[in-house]
């Protein structure tokens, strides 16, 4: 069974059931110069020659399994930053993570220039409590260099039994010397949705899209609606620093606020692979005003939600440009040999905008105000988006801009410039933003992605 995700980062790879069965067909074919695949067979012969030479002549006896796994992973990682081979252990780890609970540090990471880059720490985890920041570079784990490791290998080293320590060596822009941070691994529970009352406004923070995101979002909205009652002015859906997650959950959350129309389009290599997800009648907010907050750390599934609500003019998008990851990964199990994570499609907003390497531009750009001690190091809060990743898929519809933007969000709500702007907008203290110029494609309202 193939399973689709839209993860930007290894730490949030999970599975969904949005694809059909994959059948591997073995075809016997005669090698000849006339064969259209003759060049491929010659290259496979070359690979076999190199493999045998390494096995017979390398200075130390290599591990055959490791050789093949590395070769497969090299082939996949050369395609784009999000395709990779998952060994049986990594595949099991991914399945464990699907449940939203594991032993680790609580950081979303990616790989950049051979070192691990922090995308954002997860709230209330060892990483956030230790003060790690978005864009911090991790160069050593327990004094061992990361250079030479894949992202998956580095993540595996950072995970481990609860209550075991690990020392990270951090390079931070604006800080002259690398410094060490000691963390103790904890049981990381991905609490995807947190909600609170902001006076007469309901605030819902969605930190990732896991199996419980849609369910918990609906519960949070129902609870706050009841608590605030008739005084409710509207809802703030905070997707800042949300790295993505499950595609079906992004569709379900978008559907929560829409009565009809397209939510997202996914387009593969061939036209027949195009899928359109449709909203069904029913808005959990009963038509109340919605503001969605995004920034440079908003990626993938969060961009699907922001793009859908923006195209349908259902919400006002406030903040700064999002990360720009507009590709879908499919997890393809390989029996007992792990799985591959393969980029199989691009996704598009209802108005047929490609998010890939471009991101979502907010309706109202509101830069986050930085505290005085951070203004001199403003560059450390800038997330380099998808367009800056080596080997990223190109945007197939228009010229790319540099995606990504500031990812700093202050912990104190009163100092959160973007949040305060959203509150004032919902309370009528600021004029509403002009209507978006894009409009979604018309379509039948009751069809669902298959």
Active site members: 300, 311, 325
Beta bridge partners of 116: 111, 138
Q: Cα–Cα distances in Å, from 348 out to 267, 358, 360, 377?
A: 8, 11, 11, 35
DSSP, residue by residue, 1-63 = --EEE--SSGGG------S-------------TTSTTHHHHHHHHHHHHHHHHHHHHSSS---
From the list 361, 356, 355, the residue with the least C-alpha distance to 393 is 356
From the list 57, 59, 83, the residue with the least C-alpha distance to 72 is 83
Look at residue 226 and give its three-state secondary structure.
helix
DSSP 396: S
Q: Tokens 């950049």 label which residue?
A: 112
Q: What would the two tokens of residue 117 be?
A: 């880059």
Output the CA torsion sign for 415, 421, 425, 430. Answer: positive
Q: Cα–Cα distances in Å, from 441 out to 160, 264, 334, 345, 356?
A: 47, 11, 38, 20, 19
């Amino acid at each position: 069974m193939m399973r689709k995700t839209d993860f930007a980062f290894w730490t949030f790879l999970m599975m969904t059931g949005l694809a059909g069965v994959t059948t591997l067909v073995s075809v016997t074919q005669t090698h000849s110069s006339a064969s259209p695949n003759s060049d491929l067979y010659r290259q496979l012969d070359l690979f076999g020659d190199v493999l045998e030479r390494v096995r017979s002549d390398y200075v130390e006896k290599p591990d055959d399994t490791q050789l093949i796994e590395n070769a497969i992973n090299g082939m996949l990682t050369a395609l784009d930053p999000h395709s990779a081979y998952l060994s049986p252990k990594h595949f099991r780890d991914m399945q464990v993570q699907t449940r939203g609970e594991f032993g680790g540090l609580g950081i979303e990471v990616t790989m950049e220039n051979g070192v691990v880059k922090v995308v954002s720490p997860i709230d209330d985890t060892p990483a956030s409590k230790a003060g790690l920041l978005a864009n911090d570079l991790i160069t050593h784990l327990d004094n061992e260099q990361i250079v030479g490791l894949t992202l998956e290998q580095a993540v595996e080293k950072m995970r481990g039994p609860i209550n075991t320590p690990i020392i990270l060596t951090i390079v931070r822009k604006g800080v002259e010397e690398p410094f060490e941070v000691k963390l103790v691994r904890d049981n990381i529970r991905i609490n995807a949705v947190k909600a609170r009352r902001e006076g007469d406004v309901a605030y819902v923070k969605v930190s990732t899209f896991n199996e419980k995101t849609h369910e918990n979002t609906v519960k949070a909205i129902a609870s706050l609606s009841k608590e605030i009652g008739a005084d409710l002015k509207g809802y703030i859906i905070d997707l800042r620093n949300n790295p993505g997650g499950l595609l079906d959950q992004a569709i379900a959350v978008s559907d929560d606020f829409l009565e009809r129309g397209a939510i997202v389009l996914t387009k593969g290599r061939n036209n027949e692979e195009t899928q359109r997800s449709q909203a069904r009648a029913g808005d959990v907010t009963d038509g109340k005003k919605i503001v969605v907050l995004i920034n440079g750390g908003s990626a993938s599934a969060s961009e699907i939600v922001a793009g859908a609500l923006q195209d349908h003019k259902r919400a006002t998008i406030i903040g700064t440009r999002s990360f720009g990851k507009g590709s879908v990964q499919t997890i393809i199990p390989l029996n007992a040999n792990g799985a591959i994570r393969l980029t199989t499609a691009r996704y598009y907003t209802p108005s047929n905008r490609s998010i890939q390497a471009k991101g979502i531009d907010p309706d109202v750009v509101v830069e986050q105000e930085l505290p005085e001690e951070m203004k001199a190091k403003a560059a450390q809060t800038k997330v380099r988006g998808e367009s800056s990743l080596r080997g990223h898929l190109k945007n197939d519809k228009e010229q790319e801009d540099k995606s990504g933007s500031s990812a700093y969000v202050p912990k104190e709500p009163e100092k959160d410039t973007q949040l305060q702007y959203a509150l004032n907008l919902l309370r009528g203290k600021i004029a509403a933003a002009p209507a978006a110029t894009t409009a979604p494609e018309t379509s039948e309202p009751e069809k669902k992605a298959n």
